[in-house]
Amino acid sequence: MKRLAALAACGLVLAPSTPALAWGSTTTGGVWPAKFNTHACLDRMAYAFLEKDPAFQGAKFPALADILAHEGADVMQRGPGPDAKGASDYSLHWYNPRNQEGHAPQGVAANYLPLAYGQQGREKAAAWAAHFLADAHVPYHINGEYAADLRAQVKTSPDHVVLSERVTGDRGVFGRSYNVAGVIGGSAHSEDFTAEAHRFLDSAGSDPKLDWFDPWFWNGSTDTASYVSSSHVLWEGLRAPECPSNPVSQYSVYWTGNPQTQFGDPTAQLTAAVGAFTIAMATDVRDNAAVRLNSAGVEEAMAAESIATLWRASFSALRTNALIKFDPTTLNDPRQTPVADIRGKLGNVAPETARQVQMRLRVVSGPCRVIDAREVQPYGDLPRSTVGFGAWKLQVAGACRLSVEAIGRYYNTPDLQLAWRNLTVSPPAAASPPSSDCNCKPGDMMCQTLCRHDPGKPPQPSSNPTPTPTPTRKHCTTPNCVEPVDEE
């Protein structure tokens, strides 16, 4: 939430006896009586459920400590989270389903993609995607309009700024005030928001980050205390608990479903799915605003479920590997290009059966090509098991990088529905494969990821940057067999 940082920046703080504002991301009390980092609490609750999922082991999901290192800000707006001063646009924290405005869906999707496919920055992506998604669960984050629209209206009618309930929501519901005990009071706000509009514009100035106007953030009793006594701030501070009381026990029923599987670059479909999920949550809050305002803990619990769901959709329960064995005839004949037999291994670690599973062997870089077989080979439905599947012959003229990939549909479990393992192969005495030539089109995040990144090893917290080497498991038992080399 943005309100605590704004309060501190303006020198407006609550008295020491006032309860700490709960639903926020503030990491230190400072002049405040306590910490109130709800976002970090929601992340912990989501992670505690996620790590029990059978697909979590081996998914290389970021460590919780590294995720939390990218969340939070102190009351002076300093910190690694998106609530820090200048860290993010205000519109990324809001989505108004009545007028379909606000950039929270884009903020979630933009961070989900590097979490799922990125090679660096995945810890920050996990934290920030979770933050923007949690904001879409806050009743006071589903109102408002773009600052540019407000400026245009004020320019036309500076002394009479009337806002429809498409912008404000129900004025009788959202315009309430709360005392220190959290008791609801006050009367419905009129349609005239002239004072709130000018308070916001005076504060925002020309700062491009302040690109969203939430009228309930500026409806305090006086101009100088418009934050502290606003409906938005008092509800979050006096009605919302710091953490929900019940642990996460399921993935969100509002997950709009995994998109259709495909090899290639599915990022457009994934962006749409994640954005639709964020919109679905904000729409649910809109439809139940009065109830959720009276039961903030329920909405926080749903936010933790949503974070776990989003994170689970960033990796797959599918697993792939391959064994490489050279044909000795081609190795011993200098007139022939060496040929390797590739035998795939396919697994599903989820309780749900993966449907329409396919495997593909792809040459990522180097002078190799698949012969006498289709690159893509269909398997069908795969229950929870590991099977030997996929057979390819590969001409290996030099050192190459390969990707053994699998896709499959999950209809009841949020899942990336794509798994891959990067391997290297080379004939005897060949040089190392090229590390930068991925044969990718510009901007193809999927191709770049599959070329260089392998999700098959667990993450190491940043506090322990040097992992203990794991003994290599030997697969080969016959001559001319080449052990596959996993790559990061």
- Read off the pLDDT of residues 325-383 as tens digits, 9 standing for 90 and up: 999 999 988 899 999 999 999 999 999 999 999 999 999 999 999 997 799 999 999 99
235 lies in the same domain as 345? no
CA-closest candidate to residue 77, choices 86, 69, 68? 86
Domain shared by 131 and 272, yes or no: yes
d(CA 444, CA 261): 17
pLDDT mean over 406-424: 96
Phi, psi torsion values for 125, nearest 5 degrees? -60, -40
Check residue 412 and report its DSSP letter: S
Residues 21 and 105 in one domain: yes
Domain end residue (candidates: 312, 343, 366): 312
Residues 145 and 170 occupy one common structural domain: yes
Residue whose C-alpha is closest to residue 17's, from 179, 178, 177, 180: 180
pLDDT(213) > 90 = yes
Q: Which of 312, 328, 348 is the last residue of a domain?
A: 312
pLDDT at 157: 96
Same domain, residue pair 241 and 356? no
Q: pLDDT tens across 442-461, in order?
A: 555 555 555 555 444 333 33
- Model confidence at 429, pLDDT cuts 50, 70, 90, reads low
In this structure, the dihedral spanned by the alpha carbons of residues 82, 88, 90 and 92, taken in order and rounded to 10 degrees, is -80
Determine the structural domain holding residue 434 and report its residue range: 318-486
The answer to whether the beta carbons of residues 338 and 85 sit under 8 Å apart is no
- Average the pLDDT over 3-30 and give the result: 41
187 falls in which pLDDT band (50, 70, 90)? low
Residue 337 sits in the same domain as residue 300: no
Confidence of residue 284 (pLDDT cuts 50, 70, 90): very high
Q: What is the pLDDT of residues 125-157, one digit of tens each?
A: 999 999 999 999 999 999 999 999 999 999 999
Q: What is the pTM of this model?
A: 0.85
Spatial separation of the C-alpha atoms in residues 322 and 271, rounded to whole Å: 30
Q: How confident is the model at residue 237 (pLDDT cuts 50, 70, 90)?
A: confident
Number of domains in the chain: 2
Q: Domain containing 329 — which CATH number?
A: 2.60.40.10
* Boundary (domain end) residue, out of 268, 285, 312: 312
Residues 94, 229, single domain; the answer is: yes
- The amino acid at 307: I
Question: Are 481 and 325 within 8 A, CB to CB?
Answer: yes
